[in-house]
Structure 1
Amino acid sequence: MADSQGYGATGGHGAPPQRQHPYGQPPHGAPQYGRNPYAQPQYAQPQYSRNPYAQNPYARPVPPQPANGLPNGLPGGPQGSPAGGFPGPAPRRNRLAVLIQFLLQWIYAPLWILGLVLLLVVLILADNVGGSGPSSDGWLKVNRSFIPPRRLRAELTGRPEDWERYVAPVLARRIAAAEAAHAAGDGELQADLGRVVGTRLALRLYRGLGAAGVVRLAERHGWHGVASGTDAGHVRLARHFPAPATLDAPSPQGPPAAPGTPWGPQPVRFAPLLPFVFLLQIVYVPVYGLLTFWVSRPEPDYWDRWGARWTVGPRAFRAEFTNSPAAWDRHIRRILERDTKRIRSAAAGTAAPAASATRTPAHRIHLKRATYRGAGAHRALAIAAEQGWTLDPAYAPDPANSLRLVRPDLP
């Protein structure tokens, strides 16, 4: 007979301790898989700051935040479901089929690549190619049917922990690349002047983990899942970055910046070499691009920086060859006039945006370093201010590489 202290009963003194299975094997009578970490756990939603540019004339009023805590326009899951209702693991593939594909891919993948190279050569040498190609470029991407050795174990075992070990580094690389693109100026501009960057993963990369598991891993990096952009074959992830709190930049009416500083004039290239660069770039630019197109660049704006160093445009040739302040001023004004005309012509073909007392429609332009190299970013900012352009508060200033400017809607 069991006493009040539990002698002789389950869980009493002298009874063996209850073992907890790491993947949720419950005791007898408990709900099945009640503690599975690959189920849809309840994670706290990230909180986003309000508009840091409340006094900025180009800032839009921040709409009320929805109940799920995501910025307006970023759909999440239903209220009370932080995981967003994302699907779980997909059905496992046949292990024999996976092994056969893994063995045969070392034969057909090189042949496939060789065939693509020969096809490219034929298309280049052919005088006329009739008809039209396929609507999708999926047949060009042999990597979609390639199983790397790191994924083979996960495909064969089907265990969620094996899939997580494979997916985690892949997801980390995708997120790092997207955040680097944001630092270079990429991202969808939001009403609060913040920007949203995103990425997505194909089902073959997370089959045994499920979209819910991928979202759980992404939340460790500060990202969240986007349910509206997720289909049966992909999971879409996004992150909202608020606008910079302050703009560390000099006043356009302030004293000129010193040469060599980020806002001052930058060194120009040796003038006698510029004619050779101007002529030879027609040859070495495409050759360099063809020889290095397969190289993964960590900087999303690599080609802009490479072009500013190794090429010279016809408009900037005179300014850089003479390195005259007057020539640089004329070049900057010419580029601003060109961009302004482009904005006006684009706006002429669209309906005028509805203006209100709290929101001023704005236009944005992007000046590259080659536009103001010898004059300096501060001088370019002063010339742009004469036409109503100011620094864009949605981007952190990067005067050594580019200037992002904004102004009210042009009449």
Structure 2
Amino acid sequence: MVNGQGHGGTDGYGAPPPQNPYGQAPYAQNPYGQSPYAQNPYAQPVPPPQQSYPPQQPYPPQQPYPPRQPQPVPPQQAHPSPQQPYAAAGFGTPPQPGVGRPGGFPGPAPRRNRVAVLVQFLLQWIYAPLWVLGLVLLFIVLIFADYSGGGPSSDGWLKVNRSFIPPRRLRAELTGRPEHWERYVAPILARRIAAAEATHAAGGGEVQADLGRVVRTRLALRLYRGLGAAGVVRLAEQHGWHGVASGTDAGHVRLARHFPAPATPNAPSPQDPPAAPGTPWGPQPVRFAPLLPFVFLLQIVYVPVYGLLTFWVNRPEPDHWDRWGARWTVGPRAFRAEFTNSPAAWDRHIRRILQRDTKRTGASSDGTRTPDGTLVHRIRLNRATYRGAGAHQALRIAAEQGWTLDPAYTPDPANSLRLCRPDRP
């Protein structure tokens, strides 16, 4: 009878394996450590039971399957990977779906009066257009009046959108059922999360001490009244986000997500040979020199128009204006460098911009602190600063002043160059 040892050490009937996987002698004792049998039951047949258990002792003293005592897990080994990014970002332990949270998120808010909701829904088709028209007229008056004050934000000017009830929300307001509110909130939340993640992909977010970045978003109470902040957090956890305590702001639910630091950037060192022209890190083609004066004059007209068109539009890219300006505008400082396309002129222009940004960051206390408490300043050079010299040349000049590539961002030399420097004397 084949004992099974001829097939790579597989177990057979009647012969022990060549190596005990439990690190003990073959069947010297039960590998589970709890067995009424002293020997291997396969090597020595088990005698048939001939006596019953005595009634006064229904269970033998040595139980074949004693209850297993749970082993305590050290705190430092309990869920190490999920907690690290949250702890580094200052959020504590990541929330678990469906589990009560410390200082938990509030549930559904009180329902509004259905008659008031119907009246508002009917009247909004009259006052909403008049409201928007009044805002447009006010904006035109401020332009011609040469108004230079700060003024309210665009969101404050367009408060009409806060009092407008779309037809999709009307049913949820009237019924008050959580499932109707969830169907209304879910697509809105998905769009907000997608926009926030697009902001992170374009370089947005708050840099943390672990070089990761945190992006945030929030929803107003009118969007989730019948679902509650706890329901919104539950939906957000399905996208990898978590809730953040709103503090005294009971009219919003705040959400955040921590993105880890990018991998080691694939970028040249300042000591490497200069990058070849046309490559991402090398010099880029400059624009036709005779057209630059016309571009310089025309931008006085179309730049304000562009600003008016995008006044109420939230771009997902935080540096969209710099990226757009680097392609369609020319600044007075970069005009001479781009017009002559001289390496010396480009180097002088890069040094001027670095000197300006260094003074700005040195005069402010904004920045991220390392675990040892060192303040780190960050700047960004857009493409217009180093177009004709190349991102590698700008990196070489910045290294002379102590600036290095920021490890919290993926290098994007075709659009901008992000640098960092510790604030040390």
- Please confirm whether the aligned pair reaches a TM-score higher than 0.5, indicating the same fold: yes
- What does the per-residue CA deviation read over 1:263-312, in whole Å, with 9 as the maximum and x for residues that have no partner? 11112111101011112211111022223434454433322211111111
Could you tell me how far apart the structure 2 residues matched to 1:368 and 1:183 are?
A: 17
**What does residue range 8-407 of structure 1 map to in structure 2 within 5 Å?**
47-48=81-82, 50=84, 70-74=87-91, 81-82=100-101, 85-126=104-145, 138=156, 140-229=158-247, 231-295=249-313, 297-346=315-364, 358-407=372-421
Shift of the 115–45 alpha-carbon distance from structure 1 to 2, 3 Å rule, reads farther
Shift of the 46–223 alpha-carbon distance from structure 1 to 2, 3 Å rule, reads farther
Q: Does the 8 A contact of 1:78 with 1:84 survive in 2?
A: no
Could you tell me how far apart the structure 1 residues matched to 2:81 and 2:256 are?
A: 14
More deviation in 250-259 or 371-380?
A: 250-259
Could you tell me how far apart the structure 2 residues matched to 1:345 and 1:72 are?
A: 26
Q: 1:342: how far off?
A: 2.5
Could you tell me how far apart the structure 2 residues matched to 1:183 and 1:354 are?
A: 23
Under a length normalisation based on structure 1, what TM-score does the superposition of the two structures give? 0.76
Tell me the equivalent position of 1:18: none
AA matched with 1:340: T
Shift of the 46–198 alpha-carbon distance from structure 1 to 2, 3 Å rule, reads farther
Higher relative contact order (CA 8 A, sep 6+): 1
Q: Does the 8 A contact of 2:370 with 2:376 survive in 1?
A: no
- What does the per-residue CA deviation read over 1:313-336, in whole Å, with 9 as the maximum and x for residues that have no partner? 111111111111111111111111
Shift of the 365–133 alpha-carbon distance from structure 1 to 2, 3 Å rule, reads closer
Q: Does the 8 A contact of 1:263 with 1:399 survive in 2?
A: yes
Q: 1:259: how far off?
A: 1.9
AA matched with 2:91: L
AA matched with 1:95: R
Q: Does the 8 A contact of 1:225 with 1:237 survive in 2?
A: yes
AA matched with 2:244: V
- What does the per-residue CA deviation read over 1:222-248, in whole Å, with 9 as the maximum and x for residues that have no partner? 100002447321100011111112111
More deviation in 277-286 or 164-173?
A: 277-286
Could you tell me how far apart the structure 1 residues matched to 2:312 and 2:155 are?
A: 17
Shift of the 241–104 alpha-carbon distance from structure 1 to 2, 3 Å rule, reads same
Q: 1:363: how far off?
A: 1.9
Aligned length: 345
Q: Does the 8 A contact of 1:95 with 1:155 survive in 2?
A: yes
Tell me the equivalent position of 2:61: none
Q: Does the 8 A contact of 1:230 with 1:236 survive in 2?
A: no
Tell me the equivalent position of 1:56: none
Could you tell me how far apart the structure 2 residues matched to 1:328 and 1:132 are?
A: 36
Q: Does the 8 A contact of 1:78 with 1:85 survive in 2?
A: no
- What does the per-residue CA deviation read over 1:372-404, in whole Å, with 9 as the maximum and x for residues that have no partner? 011111111111112211101111111111111
Under a length normalisation based on structure 2, what TM-score does the superposition of the two structures give? 0.74
Q: 1:258: how far off?
A: 2.0
Q: Does the 8 A contact of 1:193 with 1:393 survive in 2?
A: yes
SS in 2 for 1:263: coil
Q: 1:369: how far off?
A: 0.9
Unaligned runs of 5+ in 1: 1-43, 52-68
AA matched with 1:258: A
Could you tell me how far apart the structure 1 residues matched to 2:328 and 2:147 are?
A: 34
- What does the per-residue CA deviation read over 1:19-63, in whole Å, with 9 as the maximum and x for residues that have no partner? xxxxxxxxxxxxxxxxxxxxxxxxx99954758xxxxxxxxxxxx
Identity of aligned residues (%): 82
Tell me the equivalent position of 1:62: none
Q: 1:211: how far off?
A: 0.2
Could you tell me how far apart the structure 2 residues matched to 1:86 and 1:317 are?
A: 55
- What does the per-residue CA deviation read over 1:90-143, in whole Å, with 9 as the maximum and x for residues that have no partner? 1111222211111111111001111112222333344789x9978997464200
Could you tell me how far apart the structure 2 residues matched to 1:83 and 1:175 are?
A: 24
Unaligned runs of 5+ in 2: 1-77
- What does the per-residue CA deviation read over 1:338-387, in whole Å, with 9 as the maximum and x for residues that have no partner? 2222333346xx9xx9999x454322211111100111111111111122
Shift of the 76–152 alpha-carbon distance from structure 1 to 2, 3 Å rule, reads farther
AA matched with 1:89: P
Q: Does the 8 A contact of 2:121 with 2:165 survive in 1?
A: yes
Q: Does the 8 A contact of 1:45 with 1:70 survive in 2?
A: no
AA matched with 1:73: G
Shift of the 186–137 alpha-carbon distance from structure 1 to 2, 3 Å rule, reads closer
Could you tell me how far apart the structure 1 residues matched to 2:88 and 2:399 are?
A: 32
SS in 2 for 1:249: coil
